[in-house]
Structure 1
Amino acid sequence: MPAFYSMNAIAQLLTQDAIVLTAKPVTKEALFAEAAKALGQRLGVSEAMIHDCLKMREQLGSTGLGQGVGIPHGRLKGLRQAAGMFYRLNTPIPFDAPDNRPVDLAFFLLVPEQSTEEHLQLLSELAQHFSDPELREKLRSSTEAVEVLTLFASNHV
């Protein structure tokens, strides 16, 4: 496994300003627009490019995992390194997840266009993290961004 993969790879993508605990969008489209704007500002990348990237991937099939979790993701031309944002929604939104449950936890993942292996590794790690019912519950009850960072950093699966 390449050196840049560690059990904390997900935590390394996050900073406190990349964690939103009171998101209020009422549709998947509104959530994507909000995340694209925030990611664009954080990364200095076009909001429209990010939004298009996320929407194009979603058209291939829902990025809803089930259990109230979504991992919208995509490979973005011109991006230099992987980036992520975590959203907890005040009200779960329809997401076309396999279990038909609405989503209230969403992790947005962007990787450089050529980073296929890294993309798959990070998605796998996210899926493992979110498969843990205890972690999902703690993410739903956390009141501070630093708590969320700690959860992602310490949750060894």
Structure 2
Amino acid sequence: MNALTDLFTLDRIALDSPAANRAEAFAAVGELFSKQAGLEADAIVGFLNAREDLGSTALGAGVAIPHGRVKGLKHPIAAFLKLKEPIEFAAPDGEAVSILIFLLVPEKATQQHLEILSSIAQLLSDQETRKSLASEDSPEKVCQLLQTWGSV
């Protein structure tokens, strides 16, 4: 088991999202999360934007990890969004982003937040994993890859 095993569920995997910019991507994932977390989609978007306003969460190589601490959230949750077309995301390498892994953690989960972000960054730093995520068209396979990544 790894830090990502319990974070991803099939209903939080969205492939070929039509989102054409950051606002649309955040709105789409706000809806995904709101159904699961019992929070308002607008509040989730606000948490994500607040973090993004501090600096881009794009890592480069076409990937980003928008994340935020959420008051009232009981446990960490994540979502995977693959876009039909890459969007501008102020990545350090200037490359547009097409794969986003969103992470929400409870407001006080500082250490856990950092550990999960580290695991996601390691996953997205692996070129073969990025290629698999970018080319996969089955939500079930994407979910399985995310849940089992790094497991022996």
Residue from 135, 144, 147 that aligns with 2:141: 147
Residue from 16, 29, 32 that aligns with 1:35: 29
Asked whether the 8 Å contact 1:75–1:112 carries over to 2, the reply is: yes
Asked whether the 8 Å contact 1:11–1:149 carries over to 2, the reply is: no
Task: Show CA shifts across 1:46-83 (max 9, x none).
Answer: 11211110000000000001000010000000000000
1:136 alignment counterpart: 130
Q: Give the distance between the partners of 1:11 and 1:28, measured in 2 at CA.
A: 27
Q: Give the distance between the partners of 1:67 and 1:11, measured in 2 at CA.
A: 24
Residue from 76, 83, 86 that aligns with 1:82: 76
Asked whether the 8 Å contact 2:105–2:113 carries over to 1, the reply is: yes
Question: Is 1:123 matched with 2:117?
Answer: yes
Asked whether the 8 Å contact 1:25–1:89 carries over to 2, the reply is: yes
Give, as a single letter, the amino acid of the residue that structure 1 aligns with 2:11: D
The RMSD of aligned alpha carbons is 1.2
Asked whether the 8 Å contact 2:8–2:147 carries over to 1, the reply is: no
Residue from 43, 46, 55 that aligns with 1:52: 46
1:3 alignment counterpart: none
What are the ranges of 5 or more consecutive residues in structure 2 without an aligned counterpart?
none
Q: Give the distance between the partners of 1:35 and 1:149, measured in 2 at CA.
A: 16
Asked whether the 8 Å contact 2:15–2:139 carries over to 1, the reply is: yes
Task: Show CA shifts across 1:6-54 (max 9, x none).
Answer: 52x2131111111001101110111111111221122111112111100
Which shows bigger deviation, 29-38 or 129-138?
29-38
Report the alpha carbon displacement of residue 88 of structure 1 after superposing the two structures with TM: 0.5
Q: Map 1:69-108; keep pairs closer than 5 Å.
A: 69-108=63-102
Moved segments of 4+, more than 2 Å:
none
Identity %, equivalent residues:
39
Give, as a single letter, the amino acid of the residue that structure 1 aligns with 2:45: H
Report the alpha carbon displacement of residue 153 of structure 1 after superposing the two structures with TM: 2.8
Please give the secondary structure, in 1, of the residue aligned with 2:59. strand
